[in-house]
Copies of this chain bind each other. A is one copy, B any other.
């Protein structure tokens, strides 16, 4: 691409705001579709308080919906929360043109399927963020740690569009790596999310330090991870059981960390129960793999989510 890449960002929560700002800093023209924070972002943009230095992000244009957007875009970034009640396809539809690559920057597993079904001719890029970042108010983001991205063409490969996007991210100052098998990368991230996110909530509000401080609880985390590895193998994107130990060890070296699900729960926001646990269970059902721990966590968390939102 000789010209500035033209990008439309959906979702100015913590993750969307952070990476949108990085893309702008990396040289792209980034506009944003906002909902609850439209007024703030339109007026003052987004303030990023970052361990790597604070900076400000002013989107090129701020829209209330995709209907106002000025097509075509090279990339659409889907950084909406991954919840069943959010109909991503309808939300992005009018901004998707022939050559638009749709970048899915969300948690969970099998989050690409409905997008692929709705836009079979468009390139889908699946992206994973490894970052500790929180939105502390409309238009104000607190970036506490990490920031690496892993991304690839869905379902496999690293297309020129992915490479171009990686370059923009790198120009903007984050580590971004292309992955040939992005589905395996999603399973790997799920191996972390599936135990730590739900158990931080179910255990009564635990950070990673407390969880890994207990050998008995760590054994549970390990057992949940084993179920995820079994699913990844059945799905043809096998993780190695050995990475369980490495993941536990790496996490125990991190600063004690409150998961995003726990923050959602504490703030009475919907938790991403379905994309993290529900979709894993669907995968287990498809392949005939029994995952009793994932199912137990799902059944408990589903109830907690419902009660919490009452």
Chain A residues within CB distance 8 Å of chain B? 199, 202-204, 206, 210-211, 214, 216-217, 219-220, 223, 292-293, 295-297, 299-300, 302-304, 306-308
Q: Residue of B at shortest CB range from A308?
A: B204
Interchain nearest-CB distance for A195 vs B (Å): 11
Q: How many copies does the complex hold?
A: 2
A210 to B310, CA, bound (A): 12
A295 to B224, CA, bound (A): 12
CB neighbours (8 Å) of A308 from chain B are: 204
Contact A304 B203 (CB under 8 A): yes
Give the top 8 A-B pairs by smallest Cβ distance, nearest first.
A220-B299, A292-B292, A217-B303, A204-B304, A296-B296, A293-B296, A216-B299, A203-B303
Contact A300 B214 (CB under 8 A): no
CB neighbours (8 Å) of A217 from chain B are: 299-300, 302-303
21 contacts between A and B (CB under 8 A): A202-B300, A203-B300, A203-B307, A204-B304, A204-B307, A204-B308, A206-B303, A210-B303, A214-B302, A214-B303, A214-B306, A216-B299, A216-B302, A220-B295, A220-B296, A223-B292, A223-B295, A292-B292, A292-B293, A292-B296, A293-B296
CB neighbours (8 Å) of A306 from chain B are: 214
A53 to B292, CA, bound (A): 46
Contact B307 A210 (CB under 8 A): yes
